[in-house]
Structure formats: structure tokens, C-alpha cells
Structure 1
């Protein structure tokens, strides 16, 4: 959940456009697709279901659902809440989803557990200012062992005083017990003049290559990689492929779009855009669905789904700063603009996972929106059919 979203509470073939990016501040928008032997991924809406606002479940407040994955060991889905232990301890939920070719028929929560620290305690509220809080954003079920790997953004304090909390990818058992942590690339570290911006760190995580490769993405550009997107230019964010033990296999620059509309000049909040989720294709370890989500004061949300690949992109793990460098970014192709799908509303969609296959040969994609616990937002479960 990025800064402006917090304040407001206060979605084939291989791609396609191969472009040489001259600099971070002028990251390319999608262009003419390169010829491919197969056509692009097509998406259509199957249905949606809205979870009641601030639903009380087993003494917890359901909301802030910013990541979702399917547990092959149980057949259920796992949702992560980005409540930073302000309402209740940082936690996840399990649920059964009734989804088929006719839509989303039911969302039934079955359980909830808090994440545990290595000493067995729950994570404290950031209000304690002890540097031990977390900001949960993404969850994936390990396809090998059915443990939960979850990403948290940490915190770069906006003012002097509170301690820095580094982003991390934690590993937990299905009962919340802490089991370990993935070693992240050095450039994911929050430092005074480098690393992730505040609320724009590790928010996307996926398993690929039959569970042997872990891919993560930084939500927005690192400080040293150039400015955030504006009305004229997009930006580059880093996508990293690693082994389960943490060895970096490659790091790539993914081009996010420029801001889609001018911001309301009367609003104190600036626009916000980034990558809240990515999902590996089961049959291609270098291909991903990438979700881009933007918010602009006065215009609301823009959510777009891209088919993207690291194949042919420059490995930038040794490039200290992308700003001013010429690198070949990941190629991408638009799969869906959510405003064209026929949804009741387009909100703060942050999580996605593969759902069941359909008799038509299509594959379902399940998405969830993060309501930020705000009354003017929704927790929306969406099912798309992808061909």
C-alpha cells in the first residue's frame, strides 16, 4: 500500500515491444508489438464479489487485503492483510472461493492467524517506534512445502526519529510460526540516499520454474534509479529473480506507465503509481503477469494488467543507479485495462493469483482489492478468464 493510498484512507503470448530505454525518467510506454507465433493473452470478466466493510471475523477486522494465493495443500485461498498491527496483530486469512465459468458465487472465510516473530510473539504496532513492526503486503504459498512466503515493505520514516525498518520476505508455517527469511539483494536496502522510497518497497512476490525461482519486484523506482512517474514520463522498477536460498539469478528493469491524468490541484496528495503484484506463468520461467495500479486525486484508480518477460532484457544487478543509463527493459503487452472489463467499480486492486481452469480451456485469475479500511473503498474479489 503506497503513501497516497494510505492517505486516502487516512490483470498471451510473449510481449511484444522491445525498446531501448534511454533513461529512467523517460521509460518507454508500450509500443508496437513484435511479431510472435502466438496471439496475445485475452481477458474477460467472469464476476466479482464484495466483502462487507470491516467484516468482523473471529475477533478481527477483515480489510486491507493486499495479496492472495491458492494453497494447493488445502484447496483454499490465503489473503494477507496490510494492517500493521494497528487494529489487530499483523495477520492472514484463509477462505473458500466458489468460482466457476458463471462468476464468483461465494467468499467464505475459514480462519485467521497472526504472523509470529522468531521468538513466537506477534508483531507490534509501529506506534511503539521500536523498529520491530512490519508492513505486510504480499503472500505466496510455497508450491514445494505449502509454507507461506510473505513480503513486507518495512518503513523509511518520513521524519527524523523513528528507526528504519528494512523490507523483507518472511517465511511462515500455515499456523503463523516463523520459519525463516529470504536474503534480498543489497539494493533493496533502505539507506539514506538509496534504496526503496517510503511505502514503495517489496510489494510483489511470486514463485516460478516449479517453485525453484522466487521473483520479487520493488513497487516504485529506487531513489538512485530516478524520479517517480509523472504526466510526461514513466519510470523503471527493479524485478529480481533469485534461488530459494537467495542467490540472485538476474535483476531487470520493468517500465511502469506515466501518470494517467492530472491531479486535482486542490488536493494535498500527489499521484501514486507502481507494481503491487506479479505472477509467474506456470510454463515459462521468464514470463509474468504484472499488475500496475495508479491513483490520482480527482480521477481515482487506474488498474492495468500486462504480460511481461525478462527474456532479452538487460541484467541490471550490477548497475548501481539506473538514472541516466541506457538499458533494455523488460518487454510488456497490455492484457486488460480494468475500466474496460465491466466491473462495478475500479478500486485499489493489489493482489492476484491463478484460479481453476475452465472447461473452455481458459484459466481463471483471482484478484483482490485493498480497501485501506476506508469507508469509501471496497474489498472486491474479482475473477477474470484468461485465454
Structure 2
């Protein structure tokens, strides 16, 4: 999706990694089974990078452009689902990333979505956000609309609500147990503190639908927004924060956040420094500019040539040491200067 320009801090020498032995841009991705990755692959004490893959960059499948990826999920058969923000959902081989299917998604009138967030529910149906309204719809595997979730009026795009177009539901995740769905707004709504975004939840009803639940405030770093959020097995959240500065490149940070003691802000009209409001707590896991470049190349200025417009994330499992195996993907915006890149991380949460 479109990024506003922000001011990023660039630390000299982050990309100066010359002693690593790793796969190049088109290398086959790892299986995620190796343990104790080399310390030289560390992005921080808690995050390491196994490798990356550019195998799908500027490719097509059955006549459809493969890219514009905004979200990832693990399907029930172990394959990957990759959501493109141009209204397509791709099925990918988990090991090779080779596309297996491409399903077109549409709204009730047949119009394309600005599809950004993805959850595969326990029954195999797909919950997909669109930034257009914003909205969350449930789809069958073949792309039929099965349900549509309610959205608080304040989170709708102005003039219907207080949200800004293209800055709404970017992230979507289902918390452990499958009873609570959470969507992250990318940027603040009008009337709120410019440093606070809202995380909206829904709770599952006995009939399998979702009704509105609690809402939380999450404080973003200056100039950044939230493109993705994923629940960890213990109910905390991995949160991506991201920004872009023309002539400098992307800032991408990975946080561990805990909403379990945050204040429910669903009844608070404006978040402007009220006493007694506790936002979601967060801890920095890694600034991805500090990751080893592993031989990556870039077509535009970046603080680290590894970086691009990282927008999708899913947890694929655990390694033998208990680290979460996490897969990220960048949205190339179908732009020759950008790259569709998959990143294989290990995260000690």
C-alpha cells in the first residue's frame, strides 16, 4: 500500500556485512527446521535472519501478476496463503514458494478490494480486510462471500467515520483458542493523539459469527505505522512498524506487544492523553536495518539493501530451541524499483 514519507534514522555501517555465506536473491527458501542459527545472522539478541528469497519477484502465474503482497497465513494443509492488495489470494508451496492457485476476491458488488489483512479460520474459510471502507469479510476457498463483520463507526473512512483513506485495517490475526479476532489500524483516526493507533477486536458467537469486542490503544514510533500484527501462542502480539523516507528508504521494526493488561478504549471518543488509559505494552525485538544483508541487492536507496516495503507476516512454527519461525514478505507495489522478497526469521519471544 502507499506509504507516506517519514523521517528515519540511518546508522552508518548497518549494511557492511561481508563475511556471511548465504543464499542470493533467487535462492530456495529454508524449511525452517534448522536450529541455533549462526550468531553472525543476528539482527538483535532476540531475532536472527536465516535467509531471504526473491524467487517470486516480477513473476506471473496463470496470467496474473504475482506480487503486491500485504499478508501471509499458513493454510490447513501446511501451504502458504499470500494476499495481494489488488484483490487476489494466492496459494503457495511452503517450501519452494511456487504458486499453486490464484483466487480473485471482490465485494458484494463485484468490485475489487484493497485487501490487506488475512486470517485462515479453523474451518478453512478466509477472513480478509479491505482498507476501502474498511471492512472484514469471510470468503470460501473459491472466493465467495459468506459473511461480513461489523465495524465501529469511528473507524470508517471519513466522511462516514474518522479514519483516513488507505490508513485503516492493515493487520489481522486470530488469538489463541480462536475466540478473538484482532485488527490493527495502520494510522491514528482524527481526534486521537497522533502517536496512538487503535486495535479492534471481535469475539466469536455461538453461531460462529463475530461481534464487536474490546478496543485498545497502541503507541507507534514517530513517523511509523502498523502494517501487520500476528498473535503468538501465548496471546501476545508480534507487531510490525514501518515507514518510508524518499532518498533514504524503509524503516521496519518488529515489536512484541501485550494487550492483556491494556485499557478497553472502545467507549473513549478521543484518545488525547486521558489519565488511567493504559496502552498496549510493547518491547522492541529488532530493527530490521540491523539484520545482515546476506548478499541482498536493492533497486532504490535503503539503509540496508535487504530492506523493502515489508508488509506481511505469519508465524509458521517453532524451531528446536523454541524460537518462533516467522515469515515476512514485502509489497513491491508492482513497481520496477521495488522487490517482492520473503524473509525467514527466528524470534525468541
Counterparts of 1:52 and 1:242 in 2: how far apart (Å)?
34
Counterparts of 1:41 and 1:328 in 2: how far apart (Å)?
28
Give 2:134's aligned residue: 167
1:78 corresponds to 2:78 = no
What is the SS of the residue equivalent to 1:180?
A: strand
Quickly say closer, same or farther: Cα 1:353–1:52, change in 2 above 3 A: closer
Quickly say closer, same or farther: Cα 1:141–1:41, change in 2 above 3 A: farther
- Whether the 8 Å contact between 2:106 and 2:113 is mirrored in structure 1 is no
What is the SS of the residue equivalent to 2:4?
A: helix
Give 2:200's aligned residue: 240
Give 2:231's aligned residue: 280
Superposition deviation, residue 282 in structure 1: 1.6
Quickly say closer, same or farther: Cα 1:3–1:48, change in 2 above 3 A: closer
TM-score of the superposed pair, with normalisation by structure 2 = 0.80
Counterparts of 1:339 and 1:321 in 2: how far apart (Å)?
34
Give 2:289's aligned residue: 339
TM-score of the superposed pair, with normalisation by structure 1 = 0.72
- Whether the 8 Å contact between 2:153 and 2:161 is mirrored in structure 1 is no
Alignment counterpart, residue 208 of structure 1, candidates 143, 168, 175: 175
Quickly say closer, same or farther: Cα 1:257–1:169, change in 2 above 3 A: same
1:371 corresponds to 2:332 = yes
Superposition deviation, residue 290 in structure 1: 0.5
What are structure 2's unaligned runs of at least 5 residues? 6-43, 297-305
Alignment counterpart, residue 59 of structure 1, candidates 60, 63, 67: 63
What are structure 1's unaligned runs of at least 5 residues? 6-39, 84-89, 99-105, 125-132, 155-165, 228-234, 260-272
Counterparts of 1:236 and 1:332 in 2: how far apart (Å)?
13
Quickly say closer, same or farther: Cα 1:207–1:193, change in 2 above 3 A: closer
Q: Deviations over 1:244-286 (max 9, x none)?
A: 3333331111000013xxxxxxxxxxxxx310110111222xx
Give 2:30's aligned residue: none
Counterparts of 1:254 and 1:355 in 2: how far apart (Å)?
25
Counterparts of 2:171 and 2:231 in 1: how far apart (Å)?
11
Q: How does 1:91-110 map to 2 (within 5 A)?
A: 91-98=88-95, 106-110=96-100
Counterparts of 1:193 and 1:364 in 2: how far apart (Å)?
40
What is the SS of the residue equivalent to 1:298?
A: coil
- Whether the 8 Å contact between 2:105 and 2:113 is mirrored in structure 1 is no
- Could you list the runs of 4 or more consecutive aligned residues of structure 1 that deviate by over 3 angstroms after TM superposition? 2-5, 116-119
